[in-house]
Amino acid sequence: MSTAQFPDEQTSTGEFQRQEDAFRDWVKPDGPFPAAKGRYHLYVSLACPWASRTVIVRHLKRLEPVIGMTVVDPIRDDRGWAFREGPGYSTDPINGFKFLSEAYLLTNSDYQGRVTVPILWDKETRRIVSNSDDDLMRMFNSAFDALTPSRLDLYPPEHRSDIDQLNELIYQTVNNGVYRAGFATQQRAYEEAVIPLFKTLDQLEERLSKQRFLLALFRWKPTGGFL
Ligand SMILES: N[C@@H](CCC(=O)N[C@@H](CS)C(=O)NCC(=O)O)C(=O)O
C-alpha cells in the first residue's frame, strides 16, 4: 500500500476516484452563453491530452479566429498551472492571471477541487463556462457553426451511438484508466485498472489496423484536401 497523491479522490480500497467536472454550462443560442466571435477564450496546456483534444477540434472546425486560446507553462509546481513566457506558452493576455486557479476562484470563490485544463472562459460574465473537455469538443463541433465556414461534423447523428460506446470504453479504461493505474495505492486496485487498460489498447490496435479514419483525420488540412 502506498500514500495517495490526491487523498480526496481515493477510496478506502485504494482506487483513484476522479472528481466530477465542476463547471458544465453550454454555449447555446437560448442560454446565458450564446455563441459570439471573440467572447470565449480557451485556456489549455499542451502537456495535457484532455486539453489537446479540444485544441484539435478547435483547429479542425476552423475556430481559431472565433475562440481565442492561451497555453499555460507545461511545468507545474505546487501552485498549479501558471502563465509565464516561454516557447509555445505565454502570459495571460485576457485577464492577466498569474495562475489558472484565479479563473476557478472568480467563478466559485469556494472552489476546493483540483484546478484542471482545459477551461472555456467567458470574457463577458467573467467566469468559466465549462471545464469538461468532452462537452467542449461537442460544443466546438456545432455551437459555433454560424461563425465558421467549416461544415465538418465530427459527431454525425448516424454514428453517435457507436462514438458514445467507444468513447465510454476509452474513457473508462484508457483516459481514466492510466490515472486509476498510476494513482492506485493497493495492488488489487492497480490490477483492476492496468489489465483492462492493456486489453483496450490491444482492441484499439486491432481496430486501427483495419480502419484508419483517425489517421486520415489528423492528416486533414483545414484548407481542404489531405496533407
Ligand atoms: N476535465 C477532465 C480532466 C482534465 C484533467 O485532468 N487535466 C489535467 C491535466 S492532463 C490537469 O489539469 N490536472 C491538474 C491537477 O490535477 O492538478 C475530466 O475529468 O474529464
89 is catalytic: no
157-218 carries CATH number 3.30.450.20:
no
Look at residue 206 in the predicted model and tell me its pLDDT.
92
If one residue of 5, 10, 50, 53 were mutated to test the ligand 1 pocket, choosing by the most ligand atoms within 8 A of its CB, it would be 50
Cα 199 to Cα 167, 169, 194: the distances in Å are 15, 11, 9
DSSP three-state, residue 220: strand
Domain ranges, ordered by start, for the chain = 24-147, 157-218
What kind and span of H or E run contains 128?
Answer: strand 127-130
Q: Specify the residue for cell string 484508466.
A: 177
Whether 141 is in the pocket of ligand 1, judged by its Cβ within 6 Å, is no
111 is catalytic: no
**Looking at the predicted structure, is the pLDDT value of residue 119 above 50?**
yes
Tell me the pLDDT tens digit for each residue of 105-115: 999 999 999 99
**Looking at the predicted structure, is the pLDDT value of residue 145 above 80?**
yes
At residue 99, what are phi and psi to the nearest 5 degrees?
-130, 150
**Looking at the predicted structure, is the pLDDT value of residue 221 above 90?**
no
How would you label 48-78 residue by residue, b for 16+ Cβ within 10 Å and e otherwise?
Answer: bebbbbbbebbebbbbeebbbbbbbbeeeee
24-147 carries CATH number 3.40.30.10:
yes
Tell me the pLDDT tens digit for each residue of 23-75: 999 999 888 999 999 999 999 999 998 999 999 999 999 999 999 999 999 99
Predicted confidence band of residue 212 (pLDDT cuts 50, 70, 90): low
Q: Separation of 155 CA from ligand 1 center, angstroms? A: 23
Q: Specify the residue for cell string 467573467.
A: 126
CB 70, CB 97: distance < 8 Å: no
Q: Separation of 38 CA from ligand 1 center, angstroms? A: 25
Whether 175 is in the pocket of ligand 1, judged by its Cβ within 6 Å, is no
Look up the pTM and report it.
0.86
